[in-house]
Amino acid sequence: MNIENRPTHTTITGISGHTHCAIVPPYLLERLAALDEPGFRRAAAAARHSLVRRTVHSRPAGVREDAASSLTTPRPTTRGELVRAVFDAQSTEELPGTRVRGEGDPATGDAATDEAYDGLGATHALFAAAFDRDSIDDAGLPLEATVHFGEAYDNAFWDGSRMVFGDGDGEVFERFTRSLSVIGHELSHGVVQYSANFVYEGQSGALNESVADVFGALVEQYAAGESADEASWLIGVGLFTDEVEGDAIRSLAEPGSAYDDDVLGADPQPGHMRDYIETVEDNGGVHLNSGIPNKAFHLAATVIGGFAWEQAGRIWYHALTLGTLTATATFAEFAAQTIRSAEALFGADSDERSAVVAAWNGVGVTPDGAEPADDGDGTLPRF
């Protein structure tokens, strides 16, 4: 499958030069920006403004930005301690904004502020409880977020140091703090930044997006106490207004099925390597081709069963943080490491390892050093 190879703006870059990983992909913003309909003029203007703030910019391999250097909140003194702060940009694009809620402060009554505060806590809780990780950098990084960013800003992003949330245009997008999976997704970009640090382009960029989706989904599942079979596996539930025909921005269970709308079009994500999208857009399709490893994780998690963060999540986290993957890792290299991680954690003959092998086979990815196990039709082998 190919998308027209016209240049596009792909990655938000702020005054600081940090690479910003945003939840709404450029192909959605471009579609909205081209609208000329009375009911969506605010959405079209908001999308055009969001695109103006974007420029082609990828962080070089091996470069980590010092998130702590631009934070205003001191680090905690005790390992595992949660320290968070929420700031209000008051519809400007100045960061961080005015501090409105700190750790332990009561709810403010402002929905965006309180949703962001709770989402920061829920994300910290998953990584601490499931993976014994001490915040985003595993060294107690304070969690900061800025809400009410810009006028009708249609996105949320991790800027290398903090979470930033727009309020949406009200016609297509609601406020971006409404979705816990979005908060978990964006903070998980920080986890990637401090571990494998995947370059935000091509397959490594799609892995960056996929890992963020995986842990964003797990944050939501952990907070709700949902098993793999009970979970929706959707990213961004609650972001669309009632005018949109769609459930969410992406689906890990069925990539390409999250929305199908006259205005937004159909969800273009592939879920198998036979449909891999070759494009120069979206930094080489990072939000598109991430559907393939997303589906692999969903297959592994549902075959294993139970709570996805307990087995499948541990395998993906181990692979991400072990230190063996390069910043330009391919799907095949990442797949091979998840299989090795499953073996290290659960044993060479374990059901967990078999499930991971079957999952990658199911999406047509042949792990480095392995032979294909099926004929490429996506059928999961029995084990």
Pairing of strands 11-13, 98-102: unpaired
Cβ(168)–Cβ(152) below 8 Å: yes
Return d(Cα 318, Cα 38) in angstroms, integer: 50
Active site residue 186: yes
**Of the listed 20, 272, 287, 298, which one is catalytic?**
287
- Using only C-alpha atoms, the chain has a radius of gyration, in whole angstroms, of 20
d(Cα 191, Cα 81) in Å, to the nearest integer? 17
Interatomic CA distance for residues 325 and 377, integer angstroms: 28
> How far apart are the C-alpha atoms of 360 and 343, rounded to whole Å?
15
- C-alpha distances out from residue 174 to 45, 72, 130, 342, 368, Å: 15, 28, 31, 39, 42
For 348, phi then psi, to 5°, come to: -65, -30
Whether residue 287 lies in the annotated active site: yes
- Among 30, 171, 186, 352, the active-site one is 186
- DSSP-H helix ranges across the chain: 26-33, 41-52, 111-131, 180-193, 202-224, 282-285, 291-304, 312-321, 331-346, 351-362
Q: Which letter, b or e, does each residue of 216-238 get, where b requires 16 or more Cβ atoms within 10 Å of its Cβ?
A: bbbbbbbbeebebeebbbbbbbb
| Helix or strand holding residue 163 (H, E) | strand 163-165
The residues that are catalytic are 186, 287
